A and B are shown apart, each in its own frame.
Chain A
Amino acid sequence: MIGGLFIYNHKGEVLISRVYRDDIGRNAVDAFRVNVIHARQQVRSPVTNIARTSFFHVKRSNIWLAAVTKQNVNAAMVFEFLYKMCDVMAAYFGKISEENIKNNFVLIYELLDEILDFGYPQNSETGALKTFITQQGIKSQHQTKEEQSQITSQVTGQIGWRREGIKYRRNELFLDVLESVNLLMSPQGQVLSAHVSGRVVMKSYLSGMPECKFGMNDKIVIEKQGKGTADETSKSGKQSIAIDDCTFHQCVRLSKFDSERSISFIPPDGEFELMRYRTTKDIILPFRVIPLVREVGRTKLEVKVVIKSNFKPSLLAQKIEVRIPTPLNTSGVQESQISAEIELLPTNDKKKWARPPISMNFEVPFAPSGLKVRYLKVFEPKLNYSDHDVIKWVRYIGRSGIYETRC
């Protein structure tokens, strides 16, 4: 298991160091600094083995987080834990920066003590942690016995992500369908690969322990339901989408999804990511980029890029950005809305510069995968509000992921 966890600033000075196992010595802190942070060459792997000690690292802005071990640990778990650690810290004090880490080091030690025991990750849901690890530090005498046992049962319980007794005057929920479209197109306009990776993010302000059921136009579900009436199948079949794969927040009952393909859960309070999914079929590509690149002689490059939109004129795309890469030593760029001319200084004729693809950024108000939310039903049998009383909001945003056209 994880033997120790270190946090460094960009200079390699250690800000946080917590050792969990006896086999990790103080010199491990220095080994990582010398061999990775101060390494002359760029790091070629996120896992480094130095003298039979393995270091896993991730970087957030200019902060290094490193987990260290001498055993054959579950590597995927260590990285998942490091990301989780970043999420938890961000939830407590915002951006992960040297300043913030120094300002909160006591809190970080407290968190590290709680979420990692002898190197084994423990409950790391921020919702639960915030009930008993607070910035001010709780005074034990202020808690009643009920409160204490409520905390512990939440931390260890089946529904570790939500506490009991939440009350809202207005029961409200927000659903965001956030998709990023990824495209790799050949210069000839052939789609080399395209996929949508989407997320359904839910923000819930619901009282009690609400049982929720989420429905979307998943092809498998629609076809199952439409079995009886062939007419309906053909009608709805058009609108349904084939989902290649999806993953869920830990609140979703996976065995139920596996057997019935229904998505049911008790949501955490506040914002969380309900599901992630991926589709590859029938993707609506919002834009097409048609590049025309000509190298005129050895010092001049002519680039002509045509952009075509591929959705209803009533919809408006935003934040559109087209990136046309040019060599570092480019000068005299003539730019206009229709065409751009770029001149090159002479380059070494033996070493060609690699021509990176033309990439695009944008945001459109629909889901390029075609995903539609059909319903989100809320049941709370113990409290007196019904599904109709809940105010629900749905929003679709399609963004560019890696949207590239080679030229």
Chain B
Amino acid sequence: MTDSKYFTTTKKGEIFELKAELNSDKKEKKKEAVKKVIASMTVGKDVSALFPDVVNCMQTDNLELKKLVYLYLMNYAKSQPDMAIMAVNTFVKDCEDPNPLIRALAVRTMGCIRVDKITEYLCEPLRKCLKDEDPYVRKTAAVCVAKLHDINAQLVEDQGFLDTLKDLISDSNPMVVANAVAALSEIAESHPSSNLLDLNPQSINKLLTALNECTEWGQIFILDCLANYTPKDDREAQSICERVTPRLSHANSAVVLSAVKVLMKFMEMLSKDLDYYGTLLKKLAPPLVTLLSAEPELQYVALRNINLIVQKRPEILKHEMKVFFVKYNDPIYVKLEKLDIMIRLASQANIAQVLAELKEYATEVDVDFVRKAVRAIGRCAIKVEQSAERCVSTLLDLIQTKVNYVVQEAIVVIKDIFRKYPNKYESVIATLCENLDSLDEPEARAAMIWIVGEYAERIDNADELLESFLEGFHDESTQVQLQLLTAIVKLFLKKPTETQELVQQVLSLATQDSDNPDLRDRGYIYWRLLSTDPVAAKEVVLAEKPLISEETDLIEPTLLDELICYIGTLASVYHKPPSAFVEGGRGVVHKSLPPRTASSESTESPETAPAGAPSGEQPDVIPTQGDLLGDLLNLDLGPPVGGPPLATSSVQMGAVDLLGGGLDSLMGDEPEGIGGPNFVAPPAAAVPPNLGTSMGSGLSDLFDLTSGVGTLSGSYVAPKAVWLPAMKAKGLEISGTFTRQVGSISMDLQLTNKALQVMTDFAIQFNRNSFGLAPAAPLQVHAPLSPNQTVEISLPLNTVGSVMKMEPLNNLQVAVKNNIDVFYFSTLYPLHILFVEDGKMDRQMFLATWKDIPNENEAQFQIRDCPLNAEAVSSRLQSSNIFTVAKRNVEGQDMLYQSLKLTNGIWVLAELRIQPGNPSFTDLELSLKCRAPEVSQHVYQAYETILKN
């Protein structure tokens, strides 16, 4: 007898017939009818009309029929709540059945009936089942608590089920323990603050014991729960790791991955000098490799996770390159992931092998895969300098194949190679130019145009080449248009005599005939630059470019740390935090790796607990291309978004990713500076030092800190300086300064209209900055600003804006809008506007803190030619909220001990050495100690400014 016949009844009047059969006296017929109902339900037919008839079949001792009826109930109870009440009695009765299988079935089904009216009736049976003598019933009841909590959380708390569930963690049966852990973990997730899963060494011990005895699934629940625990010290972490490592030999890949998660997380706490640390690292590699012989879907999950692990701890798999070689029959998703990992593991030691493989892959059929392989060859060139030459020749071979997408991809990567190794491989340009006509993808066209522009002086017919692109200018994509504009300007600056016409043409195409604002803006910038100051134009446009990064597509370190906590889960597959794809409150708890805490050291010194891995180990991430100007132009007046950096379209200027997010936590505004986590040298913030020069003579040095005389009411106020010259802002000139008076910071602005039209609708916005400075009120310009009129405005600021570390630290990027356009400028604010009024530290505290901050954080400066005595220095500094805590006289020298606090709670301690009465020694010696040593330089500048004015 088969069941497939139930799927075939589709005739009319079916419901009516079924109704009759359901009410038949014959058991067999009844069962047949219920099966038909379930079959209809599966294919999506509405059989809810049969509810009372099906429920009538519930009271039976035939387990199969009972299960079918329950299945029906789970599906339709919600749409028929009143009818569902009819089932309550049977449930209550079944929960007392002598057969444990029936008791469990009842309690399991009960929880799936999501009808409020019913849930109340179910509390008593559930309570009994939680204490049932049979473990099968208990393990089912444990899950039922989670079900009930999903329907009515309050009810579960009121009924005390959570406590019963907690007791089940000590149950004698391992499967009951595992299900209780699973249920509690889920409930705890929706109450992040509650201490529901009260994990302590005792309960951890219980879980570890159950781990050895329960089913494979139970082991996963327990390991995933363990991963949320933070051991109190390295010894506890090690002992847990020791008991978890045997799981690495489990046949179930999920058990292995969850064990890897626990180990990766707790490893953070182990000292690298420990023998055990090395042992553990060695133990991790083989199981990870074994995962690659699992079914392809699991391989995919494993590879996505290995991608994270390789970024976090490259040493684990550095010798395992071969296992990531692509097999001909791998599914495409496995191939692409393997390729990704191959690039990450490429090093000088294995580069020959890797290149040979990549070359092989580049002849495959799948277009995506081939492209990625070609791109990978370029990455190798950039990553391993010794291989660059071989990579370039491989790429040239590939270009010779004339396969269209291979050629285009190769040109895109060769452009990157040129940027990394300037003036080294220009001999290949001729070959590249031969393929100009076959390029039809914007990225490849843009790359080729960039190459022509960059090396215009060596390409004899550069003007012809670029001119050929110009013909269809308006049909090109923005990326190509922008690149073409820049390339022709470069060409003009290099060969001004022959190309004047060409540059005129492109400028007018970009500014007058285009309606793309980005293109127009850039066109105008070039135009003005070229017409006002060609020398400056040359400096800006042909500025030396910062290095491009060796590693690309690296996951931002704080996100990486979070994802390590999610190994094995969907988050690790998507490479996104759960909040990005999970709705509602669930799973949005931010997880982070445990800090390293050695049991032998006192846990009070926060220096030993950096939030991430030691910075030395992280590869320096230089932000990918995307230029300052490009990003400034992208900066909208909407809220700042952490969007991706501008694509490779514009690489001719200083590269810094203004909007890259994620550094917030590094600069977190702690209410208390002491004891809180402090700055960690952020690996992602290694911004090229020549940022300033890339801005040309433009903006950064406009604000002259040392000029002029300030008023001494409140903090020192520098005279206004021109921040935005009228020339650059269609006639709007902005000058300004910063003040701090009785606790409030403001930006004093002077707006002058040097244009011929009236200006209205002013608005201002700041980009994210190091200390979260933001306008506290909108920019109020009451009347329209007529030509030649000037208005003075004081804009109150607060420090609760978004935080992103800037370089230099006190850099502030501002956008101002009026009815004409949006203008951007950047300025440096003096740090003393951030010194708060309650920055005076208690003497004892000062002494303790001074000792506590490690010596490497101490910075020494000299303040030259300052003929003031101790009193004068002290009072002058105090008016800017630098407080003298103590004063000492040592061998005729006055020592001032001072403290100050920044708005984000960072304390800076200072020792100032003054030699009074010695006219030949007017230099002051300043020692600064701070947990965030980056600020010292700027604090010193503030001292200079205050003392010299």
Taken together as a complex, chains A and B put the C-alpha atoms of A97 and B901 apart, in Å, by 72
Q: Flag if A156 contacts B569 (CB, 8 Å).
A: no
Contact among A117, A247, A402 for B256, CB-based, below 8 A? A247
Q: Does A138 contact B (CB under 8 A)?
A: yes
B134, B566, B573 — most chain A CB neighbours (10 Å): B573
Taken together as a complex, chains A and B put the C-alpha atoms of A29 and B41 apart, in Å, by 13
Taken together as a complex, chains A and B put the C-alpha atoms of A138 and B174 apart, in Å, by 27
Q: Flag if B101 contacts A47 (CB, 8 Å).
A: no
Q: Does A334 contact B (CB under 8 A)?
A: no
Taken together as a complex, chains A and B put the C-alpha atoms of A393 and B895 apart, in Å, by 90
A140, A249, A250, A350 — most chain B CB neighbours (10 Å): A140
Q: Flag if B42 contacts A152 (CB, 8 Å).
A: no
Q: Flag if A255 contacts B212 (CB, 8 Å).
A: yes
Q: Flag if A76 contacts B568 (CB, 8 Å).
A: yes
Write out the residue numbers on chain B whose beta carbons fall within 8 Å of the beta carbon of A355.
363
Q: Classify the secondary structure of B's interface with A.
A: helix
Write out the residue numbers on chain B whose beta carbons fall within 8 Å of the beta carbon of A374.
none
Write out the residue numbers on chain B whose beta carbons fall within 8 Å of the beta carbon of A23.
583
| A79-B298 CB under 8 A given contacts A110-B67, A193-B323 | yes
Q: Flag if B173 contacts A80 (CB, 8 Å).
A: no
Q: Flag if A244 contacts B286 (CB, 8 Å).
A: yes
Q: Flag if A113 contacts B108 (CB, 8 Å).
A: yes
Among the 9-residue stretches A51-59, A225-233, A292-300, the one with 4 or more Cβ atoms under 8 Å from chain B is A51-59
Q: Flag if A44 contacts B290 (CB, 8 Å).
A: no
Smallest Cβ distance from B754 to chain A, in angstroms? 52
Taken together as a complex, chains A and B put the C-alpha atoms of A152 and B133 apart, in Å, by 11
Among the 9-residue stretches A11-19, A336-344, A364-372, the one with 4 or more Cβ atoms under 8 Å from chain B is A11-19
| A254-B247 CB under 8 A given contacts A72-B582, A79-B295, A156-B139 | yes
Q: Flag if B328 contacts A404 (CB, 8 Å).
A: yes
B119-155, CB under 8 A of A: which get 1 and which 0? 0000000000000001111011001101100100000
Q: Does B421 contact A (CB under 8 A)?
A: no
Taken together as a complex, chains A and B put the C-alpha atoms of A73 and B301 apart, in Å, by 12
Contact among B64, B175, B301 for A156, CB-based, below 8 A? B175
Taken together as a complex, chains A and B put the C-alpha atoms of A74 and B224 apart, in Å, by 9
Q: Does B643 contact A (CB under 8 A)?
A: no
Taken together as a complex, chains A and B put the C-alpha atoms of A192 and B215 apart, in Å, by 39
Contact among A14, A47, A197, A253 for B300, CB-based, below 8 A? A47
Smallest Cβ distance from B220 to chain A, in angstroms? 5
Q: Does B332 contact A (CB under 8 A)?
A: yes
Q: Flag if A258 contacts B245 (CB, 8 Å).
A: yes
Q: Flag if A45 contacts B300 (CB, 8 Å).
A: yes
Q: Flag if B333 contacts A46 (CB, 8 Å).
A: yes
Give the B interface residue count (CB, 8 A): 116
Write out the residue numbers on chain A whose beta carbons fall within 8 Å of the beta carbon of B63.
137-140
Contact among A75, A77, A113, A140 for B102, CB-based, below 8 A? A140
Smallest Cβ distance from B251 to chain A, in angstroms? 5
Write out the residue numbers on chain B whose beta carbons fall within 8 Å of the beta carbon of A102.
2-4, 7
Write out the residue numbers on chain A whose beta carbons fall within 8 Å of the beta carbon of B42.
14-17, 105
Contact among A42, A71, A145 for B98, CB-based, below 8 A? A145
Q: Flag if A47 contacts B217 (CB, 8 Å).
A: no
Q: Flag if B212 contacts A120 (CB, 8 Å).
A: no
Write out the residue numbers on chain A whose beta carbons fall within 8 Å of the beta carbon of B252.
80, 250
Write out the residue numbers on chain A whose beta carbons fall within 8 Å of the beta carbon of B385.
none
| A75-B573 CB under 8 A given contacts A156-B173, A184-B325 | yes
Smallest Cβ distance from A216 to chain B, in angstroms? 15
Q: Does B864 contact A (CB under 8 A)?
A: no
Q: Does A377 contact B (CB under 8 A)?
A: no
Q: Does A248 contact B (CB under 8 A)?
A: yes
Chain B minimum-CB-distance residue to A141: B61
Smallest Cβ distance from A40 to chain B, in angstroms? 16
Chain B minimum-CB-distance residue to A180: B293
Q: Flag if B403 contacts A120 (CB, 8 Å).
A: no
Write out the residue numbers on chain B whose beta carbons fall within 8 Å of the beta carbon of A273.
251
Write out the residue numbers on chain A whose beta carbons fall within 8 Å of the beta carbon of B295.
58, 79, 83
Smallest Cβ distance from B301 to chain A, in angstroms? 5
Taken together as a complex, chains A and B put the C-alpha atoms of A105 and B43 apart, in Å, by 12
Taken together as a complex, chains A and B put the C-alpha atoms of A121 and B295 apart, in Å, by 19
Q: Flag if B360 contacts A406 (CB, 8 Å).
A: yes
Contact among A138, A139, A193 for B325, CB-based, below 8 A? A193
| A120-B249 CB under 8 A given contacts A46-B296, A74-B569 | no
Write out the residue numbers on chain B whose beta carbons fall within 8 Å of the beta carbon of A69.
570
A71, A81, A113, A137 — most chain B CB neighbours (10 Å): A71
Taken together as a complex, chains A and B put the C-alpha atoms of A84 and B693 apart, in Å, by 62
Considering the complex of A and B, which 7 residue pairs feature the smallest CB-CB distances, nearest first? A137-B64, A245-B286, A152-B136, A102-B4, A76-B254, A258-B246, A77-B254
A–B complex contacts, Cβ < 8 Å, 17 sampled: A23-B583, A74-B220, A74-B257, A74-B258, A75-B568, A75-B573, A82-B297, A102-B4, A106-B38, A125-B215, A152-B137, A160-B215, A245-B289, A246-B249, A255-B246, A350-B403, A406-B360
B residues neighboring A (CB under 8 Å) = 2-4, 6-7, 35, 38-39, 42-44, 61-65, 67-68, 70-71, 75, 98-102, 104, 108, 111-112, 114, 134-137, 139-140, 143-144, 146-147, 150, 173-176, 179, 182, 186, 212-217, 220-221, 224, 243, 245-247, 249-254, 256-258, 286-287, 289-290, 293, 295-298, 300-302, 322-323, 325, 327-329, 332-333, 353, 356-357, 360, 363-365, 401-404, 566, 568-574, 578, 581-583, 586-587
A residues neighboring B (CB under 8 Å) = 1, 13-17, 19-23, 26, 29, 42, 44-47, 49, 52, 54, 56-58, 69-77, 79-83, 99, 102-106, 109-110, 113, 117-118, 120-125, 132, 137-141, 143, 145, 148-149, 151-153, 155-158, 160, 184, 186, 192-193, 195, 197, 244-250, 253-255, 257-258, 273, 275-276, 278, 350-357, 359, 402, 404, 406
